[in-house]
Every structure is written in C-alpha cells, then in structure tokens.
Structure 1
Amino acid sequence: MSEHRVGALFLGRQEQLSWLSARLKRAANSEPQVVMVDGPAGIGKTSLVRQFLVGLGPGSCVLEASGEENETHLPYAVVAQLLAHVTDDLEPPLLGLDRSLRPGAAVPDPVAVGSGLLDLVGRTQDRAPVVVIIDDAHWADTPSLHAITFALRRLRVDRVMTVLVLRDPNEPRLPPGLRRLLGDDNTLKVHVDGLGLREINGLNTALGGAPLPRWAATRLREHTRGNPLHTKALLRQFPAEVFTASSAVLPAPRAYEQLVRDRLDLCGPGARRLIEATGVLGMSAPLHLAVRIGAVSEPLDALAEAMEAELLEERTTGDVPTVAFPHPMTRAAVYLGLRPALRSQLHQQAASLADDPAQSLRHRARAAPGPDADLADELAAFAGEQAGTGAWSTAASALSAAARLATDSSTRARWFLQTMEYLLLAGDISQAAELEREARALAPSTEQHYVLGHLALTTGHLNKARDELTAAWDSCDAGTPVEMAGYTAEQLAWVHLIQGDGRGAVTWARRGLEGDGRGAVTWARRGLEVPAVKRHSFLRDSLAIGLAFDGRHDEAVQSVAHLPATGPRTTPAALEGLMARGLLRLWEGNLRAARRDLDQAAAAHRVVGLPMLTITSLAFLADAEYRSGRWDDAVTHGTQAVSLAEDTDQTSTLALVHALVTPPLAARGDLDAAGCHAGLSGEYARRLGDVNDAALAAVALAHVQVVRGDHEGAIAALRPLLDVGFPHRAGLDEPGIVGWRPLLAEALVRTGQLAEAGTVLPPYEARSAILDRWLDQAVAARCRGLLEAARGDADAAEASFRAALDHCARGEPCWEQALSRLAFGTFLRRAGRRGPAVAQLEAAWEAFRRLGADPFLERCTTELAACGRRMTDHQEAHHVMLTPQELTVANLATRGLTNRRIARELVLSVKTIEYHLGNVYAKLGINSRTELASRLTPEE
C-alpha cells in the first residue's frame, strides 16, 4: 500500500478518526463493520480515509478501489481494482474478471462475483482484519456495486471493515440494497457537511430560479462540492438550461474560471498541454495517456509545474501514475476554456489512442461539431452489440450519445427511450426513473408508452404500468415490430397476473405468443441492422399460471406440455414455462416433481433467464419444501429469495417472497422473524395494490397468529377474503394456490364459531374433491374432523380424521400428515381412547421432533403426558435448539461438504460457516463431524 500524505484538512477531525479506529477494533473481534464517509466532493472525505490508513501500520490487509466517472460503463472495473491488491491465487469468476472490461466480453452474474468476494475475504482475514476501501463509490460501475452489496449483506462474523466513500447515500446510481445497508443503524456514518440538494434548491428558489430536477441539482452539488459561494455564483450567472443539459460539462463561476486561467497562463507550454489534455480525458487520467495526447516532451517537469500551480495532483492507481484535477470546477474551467478547434483535436487524438471502443466512440462524439448521422449509427450499433452480451450500462451510455448526435428528431426520441430500457435492464432503475420527466415530454408513441410502463412495473406502480402498457398495445400498427408487441403483451400479462387476474393474464399471454414475442424489442431506426437482444420470455409461464388462477387446470398443464422432463435448460423450449409447471405440480400435490422443476427454473433463470423468475422460483421452491416437511431447505431458499429481491430491487416480488418464507419460520417457533416477514409482505402488497399478494400476506399473518394461539387474530386477517366482491377470486378459491379457507375454518372452530366454519369449509372440500388433489383433500378432511368433533359428532369426526390420513397415504411425506396425526390423536385422547391416541401422537411427536416444530412438539408432548406417556425432552433428543441457519450449515456438513463448499452453497463467507459450526458443536456437546452425523437425522 502506498504512502498517504495527510494535510491540514484533518485539523479538528480526530473524533472521526477515533470512530474509525474503534470500528476497526470491533472488526478485529469478528464483528464485521460497514462505514460510510459521505459529503460533497472536495470536503475532505478521501483525505480522512487516507489519514486512517496511515495509522494502520505495516502488515495490514487493505483492498482499495475508486470509482471513476468515465468508467461507470465498464463492468467490474471497481472489483478488478480490489483484486489488484490480492496476492493469493484467484478462482473463477474472480480469475480473469478484468476480461469483462474488454468490448464484447461476457459479463458474469453479480451474485456469482459477490460469492467469489465472500470466498476471498474468508481466506484472507485470518492473517489480519481486511479493510476494504471504495472511494467515489457513486461512480462505481453497476455490476461491481451489486456484487459488493451482495457480499456485504452476507458478512456475519467476519474480520472485515468496509469503508465506502461517496457523495450522497441517496445517490440514484446506488442499488437500493446498498442504500438500505448504508442507512442501517449498525453502519457508522461519518458525514462532512456541504450544501445538500434541498439547500441548493432552496437557494435556487430564493434567487428566483425555477425548481431544478433532482438529477440536475445533484450534478450542481457534485460540481461545486457543496460550496455555498460557488453554488450561489453559478445559479446567479447561468440560466437553468445550463444545469439541465445532461451531456454538457458544467461551467465554473466566472471568478473561479478567471483564477484558473490566470494560473494556466503562467504555465509553460508543456505543463499547459498536459493540463489541457487531462481536461479532455476527464477528472483524472493515466499520466502516460495525457502526455501522448498533449505531445508533452518533458512530462515530469510539466507535471511538477502543473502541481505547483495547483491545477493538477499526482495520484497512484495500482502501478499506473495518474494525474487528477483537485476540484471539478478546475477541470471545467480548463476544458471549457479550450478553443473549440483545439478541444475537438484533443478529443480526436484521445479517440485514436483509446484501447476501449467505448472510450474511443465517446471522444469522437465529443469531438463532433454537430449532429453526425454516421457516427450516431456507429454508436447505436456499438450499443446493440454491448446489449447482446448483457453489458446494459455500456449500451445505455453509447446509445445516449447516439441520440444526441442523431440527425432527425424521431430517431433521437426512439434512441432516448431505448436508453431508458437499457438502464432498466442494467439495474440502474433510479437513473431510468430520473429520465421519466424527459420521456413524458416526448410525443406519444408505442415506444414511449412501453418504456414508461416497464419503468412503472419495475418500480411497483402496477396501475400506472397497466395504463401505459395498454396505451402501447393500442398504438401498435402494421409498422410496429412484432417483438415490441410481444414484449408489451408479456408485461401486461405479468401485471394482470400479479394482481390476481388470471383471465386477463391468459388473454395477454396468448396475444404475445401468437405474435411470437421472443427476442429483443427491435426499435425501428434508419435502416441500420442492430443485433437483436435475446432474452427468455415469461409469456408461457404467465399463460399457465393465469389458466390455473382461472380454474382451468387441464388447459394449464397442456400449455407447458412442450417442456422436456429433464435436460439442460438453456433454450426457450426447455426453460420457458418451467417455473409455471413447477407451480402446477405444487398446487396439485406432486411435491417431488414440483421441487425439481422449481429448483431447475431458479438455477437456469439465474444463468440465462430472467432475474424476476429466479426470485419467484426460489420463493415457491421454499413453499414446496415447507409442504414437503423439508424445512431447513425451505428457510434457506426463502431467505435467499428475500435477499435477492431486495438486492436487485425487484419490488413487484417482495410481497410474495416475504409471505412464503413466513410459514416454516412460524412453525418452528421463530415468531419474531416470521412476524416481521408477514408484516413486510402485507406492507408491500398494500403498496403495490396487489390482490393476489394481499391474500398471501393475509395467510402468512394467519400462520403466525395460529402458532401464537391468537385465533381471533387469524380470523381478522383472513375474513376479508370472504368478501364476494373481492377482485378476481377465482384463483383465490382454487385449492392449493393460497390455502386460506382451511386456516380460517380451523380458527373459527377454535373460537367456537361453528356455524361460520360450516360455511367456509364446504367450497374448499368440494373443489378439492372435483380436482382429486390428495393433499388438499387431506387438509379439508382434517378441518372437517375438527369441526365435527366440536359439534359433538364423534363418528363423523373420526371418519374425517381417518380420511385425512388415507389421503396423505396416497401422496408423499408431507407436513400435513403430522398435523392430521396430532388432531386425530388429540380427538382420541379426549374420547378416552388412550391406546389409539398414543399411536397417533407418538408418530406426530417424532415428525415434529425431526422438523424442529417446537410449538407443535410442545402441544403433542402435553397430549402424550395426558395419556400417561413421558417423552424424552426434545432439546436433548434432537437439534431444535439450533437456529435455521445453524441447521442448514449442519445438514450440509453431514453430507460431506467442506466449509468452503458450504459457504459457496449458502452464499456466505467461510468465516461465517466456521462460526455456525462452532455454535452447533457447542450446543450439541460434540467435537467432530462424525459425531454431528450421528446426532442429526438427515431430511428425507
């Protein structure tokens, strides 16, 4: 690590340094720390961190990286900088990650890269605590930000301290998951004050200016580093159009500009050329490149002179000497002070020397004196090529430049809208949202409505999405590319589906399939062929699920009959509809096949498909595992689904994933976590106006209330679903999908409301019998047994309980069988038939013990005690004292997986795995994996 010079800026900042030192001590004691140092540019954030690093001493393990404005489009540029400090052997995907920076290279999945970072810090922290510094994180490329966020969220007991230096924790470029992490109460926040956006807008208003868009105010604040005098001068001296021209370099105040020019005039020819060349390259540049562009004959002398004039600074990035401007306005004064001909010439020279085609094109675009159709076409073609490899950020940057150079307004508008689409696909949702106002100012078109609808759907504004996408569809004509119509129908199908409207989803899915809406949205342009951007479609999934919601199960099954039983899931024919087939099998009680389909769908979509379907598949896989009595896996996959949904800002899936992880947590007695997930599910469902998810959220809450013994609370949660006016209730009443009626019927019985229970249960019984679904018939029969027992009809109750067990025997091992045995055994015990009661209760007790279902195990133990049977204390007999994460780690360890393999499987660090296993050994009183295998009963 290089020496860090510390200047006078640190006078009076000893308190902040002491905070950082205290957090490092906690990290050294296996308490991972996240520190945010934020404030306007130039206030001293970087200097503060450098001072902290100087105090670390020799032997410290420091990984450093810095974002760069001109490299935001380069995937994994920041992660590659971090890896430059690593001397250990790297493994894929980190090995060769710098190849992602090359044009046309495949871009690895951020989750895979984040997993690799976890593995890396797990191997590195044994020698010393790892200090990760990411300066100018707001300029980090999007894939790096997602990968780093993924890793940070999974540090548990690691000796890692991460310091993120950025200008604003609410910066639109930051992933929402990272913003949430930075806002967490456990994150140390070191703020260096400067004017905030509110203050800048307030100042602008006070000066008589029109309100600035948020992104424009953000640019102004970054440009002035929050300095009130500079900000006030700029707002007074320049019209609002200067600040809202997104592609322009903001000027410096006239007095500041004159100061810079005076200093520049005092420099010799070599220093002047070096400064001017650096200004063309950006805020910073490799020294050798600036020297070549400026044709500087004595570079070191020129650099020394520029530094003495305080116009440039020397920095080191890895082994490459770098020059940088001390302030954004210094660069602005230099750059805007260039004669137009010289500026164009320097940009052309930079383009000729650039190794990266994206950088070359960017400089050529800056060199262009005005609209240039040929250059615009080159930029657009490059954008299409980058999009074809999944490099959406690069594609967005190139196409935005192409739009500026387009020679006709219609082409310019189409490319601007496609830029928004690329930003959405890149995960830069906030950036895309910042462009919404400009998009709405364009003339209405199919493309405009489509992009605005896609944005609304991604951000969870479902009604707005429906309106915009419907308008897009209605505006399609004979000249509309078929792919455009197909994707519009696809988005509309999903809108209807998540709002519980199965019939509407079917209608739109069929429209999309009839038009064969696979491939990319091919945006019409000036006859130039652009490679199609291919991605998998979810039209077949929407069709099958919509048919199931509408009660047309046979048609739903037929709609996915094209899928092969096994094999690779890389082609549309092998993948599209696979998640839906897993859901159909789940709902019909074919649990083993459902788990297989959903597991394959999650894995395949993660690699070659759609992130949203990865998350949805994982959530329903957790549901299938819960029903199957495989709760360790259910909790693992459910929490993974929640984490991925939050990390990738998939707002429309959050209600679903929180709802489906709730039941196994509640059944195990982890009511705090279960209640939190249920509450979040309801909150997101209300926010989205999502009818289907509102029902799932109600069921999740009811599960928690039932385990708590609050049956009135369960009734209050579920009773609204009885409303005959409840929208799209066909899917709501379809057995297997939501499953609210048996929960409500049982709660009504427990509270003595037998008449109402007698009206709630029959529709569920009847439909389950018609469909001949063994699992739903078993649930219905158990609830009928409870109702008849409460009514005093012992014969009918016994017949119902026996029917429930007979139905379970038709299927495969499941959670319902244990519940039915508990209910039947309780009935028999209260009827004075202790012998038969004990047989049922002991079988149930064993199942509850294996699953770690504490609340149910306690009830069963009480019933057995009333029969005169004392069972071994379950905390001595099994592993229910372990947390869900400890159980998951322990089970994987018993399968022979190494700690590193377990870490990769669960996407955690090796240190966290070691911590969990240490807890497992201590709780079970064992010392080895051999003993562990003998103490745990693997799940069937």
Structure 2
Amino acid sequence: MTFGPGRCGLLSRAEEQARVRQLLADARRGRSGVLVLHGEPGIGKSALLEKAVAEAAGMTVLRATAIEMEAELAFAGLGELVRPVEQSIGRLPSAQARALRTALSLEEGRIPDGLTLGAATLTLLTDAAATTPVLVAVDDAHWMDEASTRALLFAFRRLQAEAVAVLVTARDGEGCPFIEAGLPALALTGLDRAAAATLVRGVADIPADSEPFRRLYRETAGNPLALLEAASALRDSVWGVQPPEGPLPVGPRLTAAYSARLAALPEASRRALTVAAAGYTEEASVLVAALRQLSLDGEALSAPEAANVIDRSGNKVRFAHPLLRAAAYHMAGGQQRREAHRALAGALADREGPVDRDQRSWHLAAAAAEPDPTTASALADTAGRARDRGALPAAVRAYERAADLSPLPVDRARYLLAAAEVAQLAGQGDRALTLAEAATSASDDAAVRAGATGLRSQMLLVRQPPRRVHDQLVDMAVPLDAVQAVPLLVAAAGAACMGGAIVQARATADRASALACRGEAPVFDHSAALMRAHTMMLAGERRAAAAVFDSCDEFLAATDPLSIGVEVTSFSAMDLMWLERFATARTLLERAVRCARRMGATERLVPYLTVLADTQLRTGRWDDAYALASEGAALAAEIGQPVLRAYAISTSARIEAARGRDAECAEHARQFRGLVEGRGAELVSPYIDSALGLLDLGNGKNSEAAARLNDLQQRVAASGLREPTVLQHQPDLIEACLAADDRSGAQAALDDLMEQVGPAPSVWGLAVSARCRGLVEADEDAYLEALRHHERLPDPFAKARTELAYGRFLRRRRKRGAARRPLTAARQVFERLCADPWIALAERELRAAGFETPTRRGREPVALTERETQVAVLVAKGHTNREVAAALFLSDKTVEYHLNHIYAKLRVRSRVELAGRLAVDTDLPARTP
C-alpha cells in the first residue's frame, strides 16, 4: 500500500474533516462561513482542501492557488479565483463592475478604491451563490499578492447569510494576513502515532515498535510529508538503516530532501524546472517559448513529469507540491535564475496585454544583476498601472524595486518618494515615513525633499504627540524657502491645535500666513489662511475667522480635497460646522469622502467621516451620525489612527449619553482613554468628558456631572480654547450646578459663557446662553428669547432642552396649562431622537403638571448594533437593499439579514414604519460608495 501527499494528509483527520463538512453543509443551508487551515509545510492543509473540493457536489467551486513568484503581480490571485464567474461582473452595480474590471485589467478606468473593490468581490461571490451554494478554495494563501488579499479579506469578513463557504490554507510563520485577520481558523498538528505508523508502512518496512520509527515520529512530530520523505530516504538507503543525527526533513530540511530528488534529474530538466519555477504563470505555451530562448524544448520536462515532480495536463505546468517548486528555484545558482527570468521576459516580449507587460518588467528586474535604467523605467510603469488599478501595496514594491535599479540618485529618490506617497494612501504609515526618509537621503533634489518633507508632516500628525510634531515641523521649516516651508508650518499649527496649545498654534499659523504671501502657488495662500482661521476660531475670534471663510469659499468648493493637507480640509469643515454653515460643511465633507473612497485613500477618509459624523450629530441626524462615527472608528482601527478613532468614538459616546445607553457609553469611554493616553491630544480628550457629563446629567447624577464638567471647564480654559461651540459643555455645567444646589458655580459658568458668546455670537450661543439665563435668573423672557433663536438653529435636541426647561419653569410658577405645550413638544423631539433619559424627564414634568403622558407607541428601549444602525439609516431614507449593500460594502443577503433583525427588535413591519422610528432626514443624499 502506498500513499501520495494528498492521501497521507488525511490520515487521522476525522475531526478536521468534520469541520470542513460542516462548513459545506452550512453553505448548502444558506449560511456563510470561513475557515483558515494553517500549519507547517507538509502537514496536510492542501489535502483537506482537495477533499473539500471533491465533496462540493452541487456547489460552484471557485479556487485559486497562490504561487510565490506571483506575489508581486497585483490581483493575480483574485483574477484566478473569479475567472469562472467573470462573465457575471457586468451584472454588478456599475461602480463595483468598473472597479473589478479595472483591477483585473479587463478595461481601462479610474482608480478603484479598496472599499468598492472589496464590495465588488463580495457582491460577485454573493451573486454566484444566488442559484447554487459556492465553495471558495484558496490554497497557499501566504503567497497571495497583497492586492488580492485585501479584496478577499474585505469580502470574507462580511460574509454572513450568502451560502458561501470559504476554505483557505496558509503556512505558519509566513506573516499571512489570512491567519492574522482573526477569521475562524484551525491549526493542523501532526498525525497520531497509529496513523503515522500506517503511513510509514506504506513506503518502507519500518516496524512501529522499532527505534527507527520512534525516532522518525519524534523528530517529525507526525508531519505526514516529512514522515513520507524520511521513510522513503531510509528505504532507499540514503541514510543506511538509521536516520541521521539532528532534525529530520521538516522546514528547510524538507526542501533539501526535495532538492535531493531533483538533483537526480538530467541537467536539461533541472534548467527547465528552474524556468518553470521562476514563471508567474503556469501556462505551458509561455514556458515552452521561454525554453526555446535557452535552446531547450518541451522534452526537457518529460523526465520531471515521469518522476511526479510536475503535472502537464490541461496546457498547464504545475509542480506536485509548492516545496518542489521552491526547491527547483533555489537549488539553482543566481546566474541560472537570472537566465530563467531573462528567458521568460523574452517569451513575453511580443505580448501587449497589461498583465503581460507587468510580468515582463518583473522578470527583467529579477534578471538584472546591476542597475539598469531601462528596466527601472519599465518597473515604474508597472507601479503606475498598479496604482491606477488600486493595487497600492503592489505599486509600493514596484517603485521600491525601480529605485534599487536606478543608477542616478535623483531617479532613485523620485521613485522612493513615489513609493512613499502610495504607501501613505494605502494606510502604511510607518513604511511611508521610512521611504520618505530614504528619498531625502538619496538626493538633494529640491522637489523630492519638499515632497518628502510634506508627506512626513502628514504622517507625523497622526502618529506622535501633537506638540512634539509641532516642534519637529517648525524645525524642519527653518532652512526652507516659502513654498516648501508653508505646508510644514500649516501642518505644525494643526498639530499644536490637536495638542491643545492654542496660543502656540495661532503664532505658527500667523507665521505660515505671512510666508504664504511670498509663495508662488495660490494653494499655499489659502491653506495658510484657512489654518489661521482655525486657530482664530479656537481662540474665540469668531468674526475674523468667518471673514476668512467668506474669502475662501470658492477655493474650498473647487479644490480637490486630496491635493491639500488633510488637516486643512477637516479643520475647515470643523470651522464651518462651528460657524453654523452646516450645509457648506456637509457638502465639503461628502465631496472629500467621495474623493478619498475613489482613490482608496483610507488615511484621508477617516478624518472626513468623523467630522461629518459630528456635523450630523449637531443637526439632529443622530442615527446617521452614529453610523458615520462607527464606520470612521472601524477604519481608523484598521489603519492605526488612534486619535481619530477616539474622536469618532466620542461622537458615538455623546449620542449614547443622550440616549441613556450607559453600558455602551462607558465602554466607549474606556476605549477612548486607552487610545488617547500618553498621546498629548489635549483638544480631543475633552470630548469624552463632555459626553460623560451629559450622561450623568441625564441620569440625575447631578453632583457627579457638576464635578466632571467643572474640571473639564478648567482644563479647557487653561488650553486657551475660547469658542463655546466646540465642546458645547457649558450649558450642561450650568444645569448640573443648579441641580446640585451650587448657584455660585452656575453663575460663574454663565458669566464665562456670556463673555465668550458676546463678541461674535453664534445662534447656538445666543440660544443656550438665554436658556441658561432663564435657569439661573428664573426669567421667562430669557426662555422666550432662547426659543426665538432656536428657530434659526437646526439642532432639535438643544431646542427641546430649552422647551423642557421653560415648561418646568412654567409648571413651578403654577402656569400648568401654559407648561403643557413646551413640555409636550420637548417630549416629542426626545422620543424621535430616542433620548430616553430626557423623555423620562419630560414625562415627569407633564405628570407633575397634571397631564397624562401619551403611550410611547409600544416603544421599548432597544439598542441596535452599530451595523444595524448603519443599515437602518439608509433603509429609512428609502434605499433598496442593493443600494444599502453598495453604500456599506455588504452583500444584499447580509443587508436582508440585518434588516430582519432590525424589524424584530423595533417591532416594525415595513420600511415606512422604520423611517418613522428613526431620527433621520429622508431628503439626505445617500453616501456614494
């Protein structure tokens, strides 16, 4: 009895096979699932995958086997996987179809962003499963190219109810993203002793109770392929009657054992195998053409085929095992490997397809033993195509290799800078910084140094304590001319703002603005002016800041948001929000979000989403704000932006505080503190205390709220922040002090608020300061003044709180009839916003005034998950399941799955009823995916 590699991998694998069969059974029942099989080489991963493919009767099988040499080719793995359903791409939503066709080089087009491409991959898998369940089988995923890996991981993480089973195999110790992504995984270990004995008996007469067998089993730890190779070697007397001292063939020694098998082949066959191993494709015609370049022909492959090293069926040349391929490549000397790559490049010379050109440029690069400007240029073209197709990690590597092959320092520096810029867009911040440093070290070219310096300033802003970043950037700007220094000083001022050093930020912004007048590019003038306006806003110079925005409206409306510093766009949107130009802020941010999504610029997308969430919160669109904040926080976590993630979390926490979702708010507060601790983000830190103060106030913990908010007020004052619309905590402080019988504290806080509002009042400032005057002074006219101001402010929560306070005032003055209207109006708004603690306060006042409180329409406190909230918001705006899926990068089936849960939780039966339950504005445009 003999065992091949596949059969031996299945010995004693009953439990593992049961897991795989359950995965297939779930898919047949309409449930999706993912399983990553991982372990050392030869442990049996591929055997289990092949068994699953054999048992996938009645299912559509999409499979791909990653090849080590293809790791540099963007979307090679994805293209192989989806080829059987490629004809279905045209039925995807148009944006997704364009993204996938562009990525796979099926058409020329705009750069597909990673989110849309991932959604396209998900939709394609889902559509394939609409008629029959699908098995996605990915073998040797540790060698999958990064572009394909990102798209597939995006899709795999979002599978839920689509009838798709995903089985992935990956090798331990290779840094495989599929293993590190937290997907369901199963680690394969060695065979048990009985199965190992059965395997060994199939290839050599080695008794299970003998010392040689015990040594084999102990040294291989039951690895079936290692056992097979070691037993074969012992049978063939390579070692005599005893295994050698030291480790047996596992890992590198297993490859060595394969090398010994290859060494017995004729020299022509070994040369031919080197070419086959070096290829990016298994296509036989390409290999034969390359062999002709070396005066060889297909006959050179006959001996390896007879020895079961390769298989030549189906116009493909496949190695029997990936380790055989590795052995064939690495046992050859460097000169022979370069010769193989040169031959493969020659075989592709007459092919004009973009994939063929990219393969050829990589072969030329592998064949180069010294700098070669022509090859470097070809590889830079490959990098540009990869960037244009959204394969940013592949573009980074191609630019890096082009730099290696460039003999001129200035060309090397430019390629390194291009690699750094793409790495930044891909969210690879540390790598971008390293490449930018290398670019400045490679050449003194002024354009390169300016570009690298600007990029470093962007990256430092979200990775180091802001005040330290400010000092570094100011120092970097000292020796530069105005054109190069202004962007650094603008970024430095932004860092100081984040660090809560408002006075320092203002001084640096003034310096940037003065230098910008000497600059040659108008964009510098506007960027510096806008940053200066931001520092003015924070310092309480509201009127002066507004004048700057009056002069920059056209610039902001016409300029590509990605062409200027991220802090300029996001801070400008914040300023517009604080200036209560909400429609302008929303338009700017939605355009910036679209641009960032289109480019796949995740690093830029996060701040835009978080500021947009804050804008929606302040205009009563809480559910939309919560959905945006959740998306921003998730993306920030994926790409390592802790401060921006904290800002997004604080927006969620403020909504949870107003809604009385104590546990969720507390958990977000815990996460927030872990994210900002030690980072010096002093202007971001107060947001969570503002949320917690509101939570305490709504829950009647008045003393705790007063203490927390008073401490917050002192810290804010020390930072130099004088614009009350930024945090909006002072009305809560005044109300908490009064409720805690601290009238002097309330009066002091009111005086400070009035002083800040006075010079250039916002509508919000006028409204809430009048409300607080009514609270402190028991002045009915103040309440009426506040309500008049609220009519000009799209903040329903703030208005409802004024109505609640006014109704309470009237009720205590025994004007019960008059109290009913404002109390009822307040209660209705609180109910629409799901602000449960405030509903309870309004109802208590209504009952105290002698009025029955209306039934809450069967409403119970219900907490939707963050994903459910995102789905519910878009459905409530009237979008179809497919439109919601496209916007949130989900599958249609997953949207339907979430929608069923939403209906059950909220006890609604239709989209119309759902819209009535959520605090959304149905006239808002959908977010463009």
**TM-score bin (small chain):** 0.7 to 0.9
* Mapping 1:45-56, distance limit 5 Å: 45-55=45-55
Which residue is 2:269 aligned to?
Answer: 271
Which residue is 2:691 aligned to?
Answer: 700
2-side partners of 1:503 and 1:76: how far apart? 47
Does structure 1 conserve the Cα–Cα contact (< 8 Å) formed by 2:114 and 2:390? no
Give the residue type in structure 1 aligned to 2:891: S
Which residue is 1:403 aligned to?
Answer: 403
Which residue is 1:305 aligned to?
Answer: 303
Does structure 2 conserve the Cα–Cα contact (< 8 Å) formed by 1:450 and 1:472? no
**Structure 2: gaps (5+ residues):** 191-222, 230-249, 923-929
Which residue is 2:364 aligned to?
Answer: 364
Give the residue type in structure 1 aligned to 2:403: A
Offset of residue 459 of structure 1: 4.1
SS in 2 for 1:563: helix
Which residue is 2:91 aligned to?
Answer: 90
Does structure 1 conserve the Cα–Cα contact (< 8 Å) formed by 2:613 and 2:624? yes
Deviation per CA, 1:873-918, whole angstroms, max 9, x where unpaired? 2142799787776566556546543222232234332223323443
Does structure 1 conserve the Cα–Cα contact (< 8 Å) formed by 2:622 and 2:655? yes
* Mapping 1:521-532, distance limit 5 Å: none
Give the residue type in structure 2 aligned to 1:867: A
* Mapping 1:874-893, distance limit 5 Å: 874-876=856-858, 889=871, 892-893=874-875
Which residue is 1:529 aligned to?
Answer: none
1:680 aligns with 2:674: no
2-side partners of 1:346 and 1:767: how far apart? 75
1:776 aligns with 2:776: no
Does structure 2 conserve the Cα–Cα contact (< 8 Å) formed by 1:562 and 1:573? no
1-side partners of 2:115 and 2:171: how far apart? 25
Which residue is 1:205 aligned to?
Answer: none
Does structure 2 conserve the Cα–Cα contact (< 8 Å) formed by 1:679 and 1:701? no
Residue 615 of structure 1: which of 600, 606, 610 is its match?
A: 606
Residue 740 of structure 1: which of 719, 723, 729 is its match?
A: 729
2-side partners of 1:645 and 1:896: how far apart? 29
Greater shift, 154-163 or 648-657, is seen at 154-163
Which residue is 2:477 aligned to?
Answer: 473
* Mapping 1:437-516, distance limit 5 Å: 455-457=459-461, 459-460=463-464, 462=466, 465-466=469-470, 469-476=473-480, 482=483, 485=485, 488-489=488-489, 491-501=491-501, 502-503=505-506, 506-507=509-510, 510=513
* Mapping 1:172-187, distance limit 5 Å: 174=177, 182-183=181-182, 187=183
Which residue is 1:427 aligned to?
Answer: 427
Give the residue type in structure 1 aligned to 2:761: D
* Mapping 1:454-603, distance limit 5 Å: 455-457=459-461, 459-460=463-464, 462=466, 465-466=469-470, 469-476=473-480, 482=483, 485=485, 488-489=488-489, 491-501=491-501, 502-503=505-506, 506-507=509-510, 510=513, 542-560=531-549, 561-564=551-554, 579-603=570-594
Deviation per CA, 1:439-483, whole angstroms, max 9, x where unpaired? 9998999577766665544545656655654454345469xxx5x
1:806 aligns with 2:788: yes
1:624 aligns with 2:615: yes
Residue 119 of structure 2: which of 115, 126, 134 is its match?
A: 115
1:851 aligns with 2:833: yes
2-side partners of 1:12 and 1:430: how far apart? 44
* Mapping 1:235-254, distance limit 5 Å: none
Offset of residue 275 of structure 1: 0.1
Give the residue type in structure 1 aligned to 2:764: L
Distance of aligned partners of 1:6 and 1:610 in 2 relative to their CA distance in 1, 3 Å threshold: closer
Give the residue type in structure 2 aligned to 1:804: A
Distance of aligned partners of 1:698 and 1:307 in 2 relative to their CA distance in 1, 3 Å threshold: farther
Aligned length: 847
2-side partners of 1:591 and 1:605: how far apart? 21
1-side partners of 2:688 and 2:112: how far apart? 34
Which residue is 1:80 aligned to?
Answer: 79
| TM-score, length-scaled by structure 1 | 0.77
Distance of aligned partners of 1:291 and 1:569 in 2 relative to their CA distance in 1, 3 Å threshold: same
Distance of aligned partners of 1:60 and 1:926 in 2 relative to their CA distance in 1, 3 Å threshold: same
Give the residue type in structure 1 aligned to 2:111: V
Does structure 2 conserve the Cα–Cα contact (< 8 Å) formed by 1:822 and 1:844? yes
Does structure 2 conserve the Cα–Cα contact (< 8 Å) formed by 1:287 and 1:323? no
1-side partners of 2:34 and 2:81: how far apart? 17
1:905 aligns with 2:870: no
Does structure 2 conserve the Cα–Cα contact (< 8 Å) formed by 1:490 and 1:508? no
Distance of aligned partners of 1:453 and 1:254 in 2 relative to their CA distance in 1, 3 Å threshold: same
2-side partners of 1:179 and 1:408: how far apart? 41
Distance of aligned partners of 1:29 and 1:462 in 2 relative to their CA distance in 1, 3 Å threshold: farther
Give the residue type in structure 2 aligned to 1:625: Q
1:636 aligns with 2:627: yes
Which residue is 1:330 aligned to?
Answer: 327
Greater shift, 459-468 or 830-839, is seen at 459-468
Distance of aligned partners of 1:475 and 1:25 in 2 relative to their CA distance in 1, 3 Å threshold: farther
Does structure 2 conserve the Cα–Cα contact (< 8 Å) formed by 1:28 and 1:129? yes
Does structure 1 conserve the Cα–Cα contact (< 8 Å) formed by 2:371 and 2:407? yes
Does structure 1 conserve the Cα–Cα contact (< 8 Å) formed by 2:653 and 2:688? no
Which residue is 2:207 aligned to?
Answer: none
Does structure 1 conserve the Cα–Cα contact (< 8 Å) formed by 2:288 and 2:298? no
1:190 aligns with 2:205: no
Distance of aligned partners of 1:509 and 1:675 in 2 relative to their CA distance in 1, 3 Å threshold: farther
Give the residue type in structure 1 aligned to 2:327: T
Offset of residue 842 of structure 1: 0.8
Offset of residue 72 of structure 1: 4.2
| TM-score, length-scaled by structure 2 | 0.78
Which residue is 1:755 aligned to?
Answer: 744
2-side partners of 1:44 and 1:155: how far apart? 26
SS in 2 for 1:739: coil
2-side partners of 1:139 and 1:254: how far apart? 17
When the two chains are superposed, the root-mean-square deviation of aligned CA atoms in Å is: 4.7
User: How much identity, in percent, do the aligned residues show?
Assistant: 26
2-side partners of 1:572 and 1:515: how far apart? 23
Offset of residue 816 of structure 1: 0.4
Deviation per CA, 1:263-292, whole angstroms, max 9, x where unpaired? 44533466334302123336x643332222
**Structure 1: gaps (5+ residues):** 195-223, 231-251, 520-533
Distance of aligned partners of 1:15 and 1:541 in 2 relative to their CA distance in 1, 3 Å threshold: farther
2-side partners of 1:85 and 1:515: how far apart? 59
Which residue is 1:832 aligned to?
Answer: 814
SS in 2 for 1:38: strand
Give the residue type in structure 1 aligned to 2:658: A
Offset of residue 752 of structure 1: 3.0
Give the residue type in structure 1 aligned to 2:662: L
Greater shift, 625-634 or 648-657, is seen at 648-657
Distance of aligned partners of 1:682 and 1:510 in 2 relative to their CA distance in 1, 3 Å threshold: farther
Deviation per CA, 1:605-637, whole angstroms, max 9, x where unpaired? 433695444332322222222222222222222
SS in 2 for 1:335: coil
Rg (Cα) greater in structure:
2
Greater shift, 616-625 or 262-271, is seen at 262-271
Offset of residue 536 of structure 1: 15
Deviation per CA, 1:243-278, whole angstroms, max 9, x where unpaired? xxxxxxxxx999878766654453346633430212
1:132 aligns with 2:123: no
Greater shift, 119-128 or 436-445, is seen at 436-445
1:866 aligns with 2:848: yes
Which residue is 1:291 aligned to?
Answer: 288
1:64 aligns with 2:55: no
2-side partners of 1:572 and 1:937: how far apart? 32
Give the residue type in structure 1 aligned to 2:91: L
Deviation per CA, 1:421-452, whole angstroms, max 9, x where unpaired? 43233334465578799899989995777666
Give the residue type in structure 1 aligned to 2:552: H
2-side partners of 1:748 and 1:132: how far apart? 61
1-side partners of 2:6 and 2:254: how far apart? 25
